Amino acid sequence: MNVYNTLTKSKEPFQSLTPNVVKMYVCGVTVYDLCHIGHARAYVVFDVIRRFLEFLGYTVTYVQNFTDVDDKIINRAKERGLAGKALSESMIQAYFDDMDRLNIVRASHYPKVTEHIPQIISFIEGLVAKEAAYLADDGIYFSVRKSKNYGKLSRRDIEEMKAGTRATLSEKKQDPLDFALWKLDSESDLSWPSPWGQGRPGWHIECSAMSREYLGETFDMHGGGQDLVFPHHENEIAQSEALTGKPMAKFWLHNGFVRSHKEKMSKSLGNFFTIRDVLKTVDPMVLRLFFLMTHYRQPINYSFEELEDVRTAFERIRHVFTIKDLHPVEAEPVDHFRKIFMEAMEDDFNTAKAVGTLFDLVRQINVSKSLGLVELLRALLQVLGLKITLDEAEIPESVAQLAKERWEAKQAKEWARADSLRKKIQEEGYVMEDAKEGYKVRKC
């Protein structure tokens, strides 16, 4: 298996540090708001990577943190008249609700910053002792100049970075590039005593401390979105390797951005979508398949039109499981399709090519009615985390379309049209059940 490593900018043969064991860390969300579809793509990507590694026989320890201490959380909590912890806990539960619907397997560990303050303080103390960090008027800073090969992940030159830094932003630092490890703060409800005074951790230090706690000083894979390459992952490497003198992670993996209607997602542009809003009208498995039809390192364009194409494609997969006259077939090409699927996934987790193989497999099943190929399809869908619910699969496409139109009419408050469509659905022998998160169609 070959895996693209952001650190070396090349594909490398994958070999875990311990035979048959993979330790991977994926940066989690800052829990001040609901997750958006960019988060959905990232966690679907790393869920599939984890599933495929386990399919190959690896035992995977998967760690994904929650950043539950941050200026955004403190400010949002004040806006809503809440304690910071109350806001973060509600957003963590919302995260699990969204990810469960996307069929994402729970991580081995979900460490929170608030539950690992002693480990973070100990880590910072080690950096201070090695003179890689220093005390300023407002907290502890990491000295970037003390870091060997700073910029090796993002391929940035330290002198060019300094030239582009505004001096007014760094009056309390020894160098404009230095970053906060501990922020002094005696007013927030999210602050703790430390050797340097009451305060809270900076953003970057949490992942270094928590990955070390659960996975050791060096582990196999570190993942996240492309936006984390710099400064977050660059700074993680700098502080971790300054403390331990060892590589932090062997492989660094980053998924591409999600753009909305060919533009960068932004609330100001009105093209920003939460997972919760999208799943009101889109089957979670359709959204998951949409992400997997593009290679994880490539950008992806989110639009209603493209989602509709994917919905139609997913219906073709569902249809296979409604075929009644399946039977064993001589010389079934099971090994052929499995081999092509495996080759795709072993080439840097190329889900786009792997999904193409699924549709070739579907076409073959529709012709041959092969029971063996259906069982193979079921197994490969499980690797990709695409769950087929048979009750939904048995719903005719015409009824599914009526249900979709009724939901859209209801959202638009076109009550007469919605009621008319509901009656048509009932005439076909089905009932549509509405819920806060969306709707479900079932046989009467």
CATH code, domain with 118: 3.40.50.620
Q: Minimum mean pLDDT among 215-219, 258-262, 421-425: which range?
A: 258-262
Domain final residue pick, 255, 287, 314: 255
Same-domain pairing of 199 and 215: yes
In the chain, how many domains are there?
3
**Beta bridge mates, 253:** 223
**pLDDT tens per residue across span 135-194:** 999 999 999 998 989 999 999 988 877 655 554 444 688 999 999 999 999 888 899 999
Same-domain pairing of 104 and 6: yes
* 431 exposure class (CB count in 10 Å sphere: 0-12, 13-18, 19+): middle
Residues 108, 390: contact at Cβ < 8 Å? Answer: no
**pLDDT tens per residue across span 200-226:** 999 999 999 999 999 999 999 999 999
Same-domain pairing of 375 and 431: no
HEC string for 150-195 = CCCCCCCCHHHHHHCCCHHHCCCCCCCCCEEEEEECCCCCCCECCC
Say which residue the tokens 């039109």 belong to. 305
Same-domain pairing of 250 and 267: no
Domain final residue pick, 195, 224, 255: 255
Same-domain pairing of 416 and 386: no
Amino acid 332: pLDDT: 82
Same-domain pairing of 102 and 215: yes
pLDDT confidence band for 330 (50 / 70 / 90):
confident
Mean pLDDT, range 285-291, rounded to an integer: 97
The alpha carbons of the chain give a radius of gyration, in whole angstroms, of 25
Same-domain pairing of 48 and 91: yes
Same-domain pairing of 283 and 207: no
Same-domain pairing of 235 and 100: yes
pLDDT confidence band for 434 (50 / 70 / 90):
confident
Mean pLDDT, range 259-284, rounded to an integer: 82
Identify the DSSP state of 326: -
Alpha-carbon span 394 to 412, nearest angstrom:
28
Same-domain pairing of 345 and 436: no
Same-domain pairing of 32 and 146: yes
Q: Could you give the strand order of the β-sheet that contains 258-260, starting from the edge strand earlier in sequence?
A: 263-264, 258-260, 300-302
**Averaged pLDDT score across all residues of the chain:** 92
Same-domain pairing of 212 and 243: yes
Whole-model pTM: value is 0.86
Range of the domain at 436: 397-443
